[in-house]
Structure 1
Amino acid sequence: MTGLAAVIAAAVSWAVLGALVRRAGLLPLDVPNARSLHVRAIPRGGGLAIWAGWIAGTLWLPGAKPWLGPLAAVIAVSLLDDLRGVHPAFRLMVHLAAAAAWVWLAGPALNPIAAVLAIVWMANLYNFMDGSDGLAGTMAVVGFGAYAAAAWLAGSAAATLLLALVAAVVPFLLRNAPPARVLLGDVGAVPLGFLAAIFGITGWQERWWPAWFPILIFLPFIADATATLVYRLLRGARIWEAHREHYYQRLVQIGWGHRRTLALYAGLMVGVAGSSLGVLAWAPAAGVVLLIVWTVVLALIFAAIEYHWRRRGVGLSALCCSSSGRGFSHSRLE
């Protein structure tokens, strides 16, 4: 059953994505601007294929699916945002309502306010991190793949759902790897973050894994987005505005390009996931120590990126264009 679900998810995702990409005008174009990292217009909204594949591969499986309705709401508002734009306040209200609905339907035995805030933050930070070729897709394959492995170790049927999600992402990732031919869009990134949070909470609730495990698995994204948010808050920046001050964006700006940036982050993702699964299997009590170790490693990497970003004078240029709306040359960004 697990194999069949994965095959169906991958096949439907591949077919839908191919149809969307081949027929010009079906997907909106992501046009380069002062805050993007691309030099040409690229279709966005490829995440639609992921959800078509995943739902086709798993909807027929037995068992309750309390995530389905809330996920559908998040997908709908994200698609609308891709197509015509949505006011940030309305978008946030939908995210909060969807998270609250899942908390009520799933009935997690924890602080519901904390759960809702964690879900909404994860949904949005995942979207923030979807700005460089292959990055969000690789995090999905590694992150949900690690979830699937851990759920399988715990004997949970959720491993089938998670593996099918990985299978649905792979066709998109093949077309999103540098140089990207299609982008995820809000319709892909926001729901992926939403699912990362609710599966993480569910796994903790059901004792598939300790609380540190989902945090560690998605730590490369959580750390980058959270550190950047704090950095901008301390500087007095308008945090709701688009920018390119995330550490992965800075790497692209200082000349690493999309390929090398993806290679670094993919290495971190695989290293974090592999070590997390090893500790989960053989020494779960050491998980908090591993979380601290990887947090320090990421902090050192971010400090090095910050140093080189400022040394090359990109930091000042980025801050200036954030306030003026003008960007600098993108010739080295691809």
Structure 2
Amino acid sequence: MSETNVVPITAGTGRRRAAGRRRAPAIPAGIPLADLIPSWKLALQSANKSLNTITMYLRTADRFVAYLAEHGEPADAESVAAEQVRAFLVHEQEKRGLSTAKSAHAYLGVFFSWLIDENERTTVSPVLAKDRPKIPTKARTYVSVEEMRLLIEVCKGSDFTSRRDTAIFYVLFDNGMRVGGLTGLRLDDVDLQGHRLRIRLKGGMEKWVPIGNRTAQAIDRYLRVRARHNLAESPWLWLAARHPTRLGIDGVQGMVKRRGEQAGIKGLHPHRFRGSSAHQLLAAGASPDDVKRILGWLSDSMLRHYTEELGDERARSAHARFSPSDRV
């Protein structure tokens, strides 16, 4: 055989190695995401996140891992790409709705940011801002002063339930308290002489929020009838009328909806009072910074989110009071 027909082994080996390098994945496989979720849970607990927040985060991570496994996609910390996250968000939207998909985007963003901080992922997060599901803006429904008067009217009475419901409506309308903060109130969180209530925030923080004269009076009337309740020694402020327990979130939501229907207000829920309170405070002359402190918002964007729609109404009211031509 002629030497010219001999192919050196080293050359062939080199070609095979080159081809092998081209087929190799660009990013090495990392630790399986399922194995990292328990560590993330510990990190969330260490950061003093609320139990509800931790539960929502972990459920989303578990569903994401299950989705990857079901579709034969890589499910380790290094290999997951934006395409897999994007497909999962579409899946969530189709199965659970747009709002759930938007929340999943946020929760996975926190998860992958933690992976990067812990050096479990060496590349950028696959959760991209441009992939955040966009929820169409809908007109926000507010509780007007007239509707508030109707609610107080249907709660009129001196019995336990009437006074309790009246007091709850006054608190919701007065400072826009979240329903979780409302139901978490204890007797020692009430300072009627100081016109304030103490609420417990996420992470164990506490904050005193103001109440007006009528709210303080409504709570005082409720406390007097509450003293005759068979659970009067309970530390919780709001008690159920027919069951030996405190009034929880479901109870408040059910009461608000029921009273709303009695007053001719369909689909009423506690959170609707939040924007209403902020709007009323601004319309009465409170500064944006005051409103943020009362409602517990840290950013101007949250204030705009809840009150911008009624900005023109407040502007017209202000113009009626300060019209330049009226001073001529």
- Normalising by structure 1, we get a TM-score of 0.22
Structure with the greater alpha carbon radius of gyration: 2
TM-score (norm 2): 0.22
Indicate the structure whose relative CO is greater, using CA pairs within 8 Å and at least 6 residues apart.
Answer: 1
Give the number of the structure whose residues are more often helix, by fraction.
1
